[in-house]
Structure formats: structure tokens, C-alpha cells
Amino acid sequence: MEKQLLVPLLLACISLNIYATSVKTEDAAYKVVEKSIFKNKLTGLKADCIKYRINENAEQYEVNAFEIHNKKCGGDPSIERRMFGYLVDKNTGKLQTDAMRDDIDWDGDYHSIQ
């Protein structure tokens, strides 16, 4: 009987994202953003052709992704192009991005993403 109650409770907790992971360092913010970028196929660039700038405030990290332009990655080295940004909630690990995606109508605002 207890097992029958435990499974629905566990599934409810997972669906409510109760087990969200806090993000407490810039390195951790970078890692979750990079994972999300490739999971969601936001760019065709390889990881070593992207650089990140991170700003921090009390509640979140702002992570901006830029194209690297050089011989290996291509492009004009005198131009630095921002591709998109992420907001990473420090307490919940929840991500938002202003990247263009197929699942939203792009308006330049930040929208939730996994």
C-alpha cells in the first residue's frame, strides 16, 4: 500500500521541479548554460567557437554568448557578435533565454528554457 502512494508523490515532486538545483558560482552558471545551448540546438557552432561573459547580481547570473571569430571558427576577428543571453536563477537553477527558437514567437524578451 505504501509503495502505491509513494510513486504518485514522487512523480508529482518531479513535475513540480522540487528538486531544482541551485547555481552558486559563475562556473556552474556557465556549465548549465552551455548544456542548455547544445540540448536545445540554439547554434551550429562548436563549443570552442563560443565565448561567454557573465554578470552577477544577488538573484541571478546573466550569461551572454558570443561567436569567436578566428581562423579555426571563421569570421572577421575584428567583429564580436552576441548571439543571445541567458538568465540563471541562483536559487532554483531556472533558465531563461532571449535566443530565437522554434517554440516561441521571438520578441527579444527572456523566456523559460530547459
pLDDT in tens, 19-65: 468 999 999 999 999 999 999 999 999 999 999 999 999 999 999 99
On whether residue 31 sits in a domain, the answer given is: yes
On whether residue 86 sits in a domain, the answer given is: yes
Evaluate if pTM is beyond 0.85: no
3-class secondary-structure state, position 104: coil
On whether residue 54 sits in a domain, the answer given is: yes
User: With bands split at pLDDT 50, 70 and 90, how would you rate the model's confidence at 75?
Assistant: very high
Beta strands per DSSP E along 1-114: 50-56, 60-67, 82-89, 95-97, 111-113
User: With bands split at pLDDT 50, 70 and 90, how would you rate the model's confidence at 11?
Assistant: very low
Print the domain residue range for 80.
21-113
On whether residue 63 sits in a domain, the answer given is: yes
On whether residue 13 sits in a domain, the answer given is: no
Structural domains counted in the chain: 1
On whether residue 85 sits in a domain, the answer given is: yes
On whether residue 28 sits in a domain, the answer given is: yes
Alpha helix ranges (H) inside the chain: 2-15, 26-39
On whether residue 97 sits in a domain, the answer given is: yes
Q: Is the pLDDT of residue 106 over 60?
A: yes
Q: Which residue has the higher pLDDT, 6 or 103?
A: 103
- CB-based contacts of 24, cutoff 8 Å, min separation 6: 90
